[in-house]
Chains A and B, each alone.
Chain A
Amino acid sequence: MDRSLLLHVAVLLGLTAIAVGTAQSAEAPQPEPARQKALVHMVRQDCGSCHGMRLTGGLGPALTPERLAAWPDDSLVATIIHGRPGTAMPGWARFLNESEAGWIVARLKHGFPPLD
């Protein structure tokens, strides 16, 4: 076996591992599994009062990936935390923090998890 090839492969694998690790740490921390479950429940059931349990809209707009695609994440996080003046959207800062709102926004943009 060619030793230098083996070395190359090992170095490449190492670099890939570092790159993946960096990408993960750059993303917002994930809420604990129990908290994720509570957040999914809150979005579907309580946000669902206005946005619909399937998030297809009601008195509030639809929260589907297509509808949210054009909105920057930080603007959506701000809407969740502070509400939108002049509309019926209240701020939810009492019930979640910005990092949790960021987790919700990321999930909404990729198709929100179902209730279990």
Chain B
Amino acid sequence: MRLAALLPALALGLAACASTPPDAVRGSGDLGVVIERAAGRVQIVEHSHDSRLGTVAGLGDLSHAHVAFSRDGRYAYVFGRDGGLTKVDLLTRRIARRIVQAGNSIGGSVSQDGKLVVAQNYEPGGIKAFDADTLELLADVPAEYAPGKFSRVVGLADVPGQRFVYALFDADEIRVTDFSDPRKPVTTRYPAGKQPYDGLVTPDGRYFLAGLFGEDGVSLLDLWKPEAGVRKILSGYGRGEEKLPVFKMPHLRGWSLAAGQVWLPAVGHHEVLIADAGSWAETGRIPVKGQPVFVMARPDGRQVWVNFAFPDNEWVQVIDTVERRVVHTFSPGKAVLHMEFTPRGEHVWLSSRDSNRVSIVDTATFAVIKELPADAPSGIFFTARAQRIGF
């Protein structure tokens, strides 16, 4: 009799144990995702104690994978090369939803209100908006630039007003799509420079910068005065120098602003370019060890960290933004693909694909704090991105 009364409670208890990891009741502000690209798997990590919490597999082709986060920091939207879009629950460490939304995709972003997830695609060229809860398709915005011709989309960034800015590699354009009415998006087109390869917005969401592959320079659109159109900055930065073959495209994002300047990778040159973030005039160049891929400011802007394209990709250099010189050069491992700072920048996590590890480095002393094993890791993404414009 007493046992019979206990059984339902016992069953409930067991069910709770089966579905909820013991540490599921926790905050999400210190969580992150490490991409294990070849395995189609992500690690879920936390940076309060620098540990791995678990893995989630079955995410498809994760070469060039990108991650955006829900505004509550609970879900990671993982964009795979094969068009897979997977919503991963970081607390239960399970796949919440998964769709295949394109043939070839390179990333995506979340809207200002957190309700839309927008993917940027190479095939079919364009962007698509999904309901952030259900991943239901709300709008398909093809990047058609001539009848029947669709461009690959790069540099997608969310900006205030439910808008997304992006560039068209094949059509030399910047576009702004307004999803205020998610099922009836409105797109505005702006002619830009030749072959934009990636883009970024400044942390206030005001300026969109598209790096150019087809010419030396950067296209700039002021989103507070879009009617003024696109202007070119850092024009002809490679003048008089031989452009080297580019073995990996650089990547841009809103971490480029530091100490009132933007710090950008030169394409085909062993240099970091500096421009004033008010006048946009070039103010300097820093010679570095190879062709920069990520030029990433520490959140306080006092340092800029740089990694490099093949074959110099074992190196990382740190620039002091006041002294404007390289103050540290080191190798955390082979094929360093990505870096991610903790939200206030005391540590940086670096992935070394060919050393199968993630190194956690103190940004003040440059000491390696810890190394975590990972299977050919590439991107590292912390949930603090959820609270930033343009990530």
A binds B: yes
The reply to whether B82 and A46 form a contact with Cβ atoms under 8 Å apart is: no
Q: Which A residue sits closest to B123, measured CB to CB? A: A57
The reply to whether A115 and B169 form a contact with Cβ atoms under 8 Å apart is: no
Interface residue? B311 (CB, 8 A): yes
The reply to whether B122 and A57 form a contact with Cβ atoms under 8 Å apart is: yes
In the bound complex, CA of A91 to CA of B244 (Å): 10
A41-61 interface bits toward B, Cβ cutoff 8 Å, 1 = contact, 0 = none: 000111011101110111100
Q: Which A residue sits closest to B335, measured CB to CB? A: A45
Interface residue? A88 (CB, 8 A): yes
Interface size of B as a range: 20 to 34
The reply to whether A88 and B61 form a contact with Cβ atoms under 8 Å apart is: no
Q: Mostly helix, strand, loop or mixed at chain B's interface?
A: loop
The reply to whether A56 and B61 form a contact with Cβ atoms under 8 Å apart is: yes
The reply to whether B249 and A50 form a contact with Cβ atoms under 8 Å apart is: yes
Q: Mostly helix, strand, loop or mixed at chain A's interface?
A: loop
Residues of chain B contacted by A90 (CB below 8 angstroms): 245-247
The reply to whether B311 and A58 form a contact with Cβ atoms under 8 Å apart is: no
A44 to chain B, nearest CB (A): 8
In the bound complex, CA of A94 to CA of B244 (Å): 12
B245: contacting residue among A44, A56, A59, A83, CB under 8 A: A83
B104: contacting residue among A45, A49, A58, CB under 8 A: A58
Interface residue? A71 (CB, 8 A): no
Residues of chain B contacted by A88 (CB below 8 angstroms): 195, 197, 213, 246, 249
The reply to whether B249 and A59 form a contact with Cβ atoms under 8 Å apart is: yes
The reply to whether B122 and A58 form a contact with Cβ atoms under 8 Å apart is: yes
Q: Which B residue sits closest to A62, measured CB to CB? A: B104
The reply to whether B247 and A58 form a contact with Cβ atoms under 8 Å apart is: no
Interface residue? B177 (CB, 8 A): no
A9 to chain B, nearest CB (A): 50
Interface residue? B100 (CB, 8 A): no
Q: Which B residue sits closest to A89, measured CB to CB? A: B245
In the bound complex, CA of A45 to CA of B246 (Å): 15
In the bound complex, CA of A53 to CA of B169 (Å): 21
The reply to whether B64 and A52 form a contact with Cβ atoms under 8 Å apart is: yes
Residues of chain A contacted by B324 (CB below 8 angstroms): none
Q: List 23 A-B contacts (CB under 8 A).
A: A44-B38, A45-B354, A45-B376, A46-B247, A46-B248, A49-B63, A49-B247, A49-B248, A50-B248, A52-B63, A52-B64, A53-B81, A56-B104, A58-B63, A58-B122, A59-B122, A83-B245, A88-B246, A90-B245, A90-B246, A92-B247, A94-B311, A115-B38
Instruction: Using A45-B376, A50-B249 as known contacts, list a sample of 4 further A-B pairs with CB atoms less than 8 Å apart, ordered by residue number in A.
Output: A49-B248, A52-B61, A52-B104, A57-B122
